[in-house]
Amino acid sequence: MALATDPSLRSSDVSHVLVLAPAELAAEARLAATAVGAVRPDLALNVDTSVRSVGALVSAVQAVPDIASSAAEVRETVRRRLLASISGAWLPSVTKLANPNPGMGLHIRSLVARGAGFIALRDDPAWVAQLPLKQQASHRISHLAEGDAVCFGELPEPAISALFGFGLTQRPTRVDSLPDVAGEWGSAEAVEFVLRAPVVSRPRLGTCAVCGDPVWERTCPFCHAGLRGAAPTTSSGALQ
């Protein structure tokens, strides 16, 4: 709710607000947007939630160029970056890991020996394994050789070796740790990382009939209006 009291919202320079949140915080994000709408009813608001981790959201936002031409371009950049991202973590133990589910076998191994720890991938394909990996796993993630990775804290070397096994060709870039890593991964010692394959962009479909911003979908995500010059349509299907 701190969003609604952010002093920058009072500025007439702010015309659009994009609220990004992980899917499990969707209700809170919508509540925050409602509060913002009460403060500034003239604002164009969009709430976008993602099943990706907080780290993936942070990484996607950091990929937005400093000078974006519109709020719609910011939203599209974040969305395409998230689609090309896989979030994971190194964990010393998986006894409290819920997403992805490590299964009973790894759960028991976690109880009897710490060893080099475990690696978990949350997004498709969700996967958990004990380190060191017994075999190459590059088939699990495509195009990673052309991408890169960031890690939120210091990854142990066995975890970095596993990332090279996935096809990464350079060491991950270390950035600051994330808050509440225990809430997300079940361990306060977990170190999250995001694997970033090249982004696949898509052409925009036109411009919004109300705000004039570029639109990549059938309606403007902020104004909910159709495209300029487009015939009315009854289709409501999502493009992705």
Question: How far apart are CB 159 and Zn ion at their closest, in Å?
Answer: 43
Question: How far apart are CB 216 and Zn ion at their closest, in Å?
Answer: 12
Place of tokens 């590059």: 138
Closer to Zn ion at the Cβ: 168 or 208? Answer: 208
Question: How far apart are CB 208 and Zn ion at their closest, in Å?
Answer: 3
Residues that bind Zn ion (CB under 5 A): 208, 210-211, 220, 222-223
Closer to Zn ion at the Cβ: 33 or 220? Answer: 220
Closer to Zn ion at the Cβ: 145 or 210? Answer: 210
Closer to Zn ion at the Cβ: 77 or 187? Answer: 77
Closer to Zn ion at the Cβ: 137 or 209? Answer: 209
Task: Quote the tokens at residue 138.
Answer: 């590059």
Tell me the torsion sign for CA atoms 119, 120, 123, 127: positive
Cβ distance 116 to 132 under 8 Å? yes
Closer to Zn ion at the Cβ: 115 or 212? Answer: 212
SS (H, E, C) the chain: CHHHHCHHHHCCCCCEEEEEEEHHHHHHHHHHHHHHHHHCCCCEEEEEEECCCHHHHHHHHHCCCCCCCCHHHHHHHHHHHHHCEEEEEEECCCCCCCCCCCHHHHHHHHHHCCCCCEEEECCCCCEEEECCCCCCCHHHCCCHHHCEEEEECCCCHHHHHHHHHCCCCCCCEEECCCCCHHHHHCCCCCEEEEEECCCCCCCCCEEECCCCCEECCCCCCCCCCCECCCCCCCCCCCCC
Cβ distance 198 to 141 under 8 Å? no
Question: How far apart are CB 43 and Zn ion at their closest, in Å?
Answer: 12
Closer to Zn ion at the Cβ: 63 or 210? Answer: 210
Question: How far apart are CB 72 and Zn ion at their closest, in Å?
Answer: 7
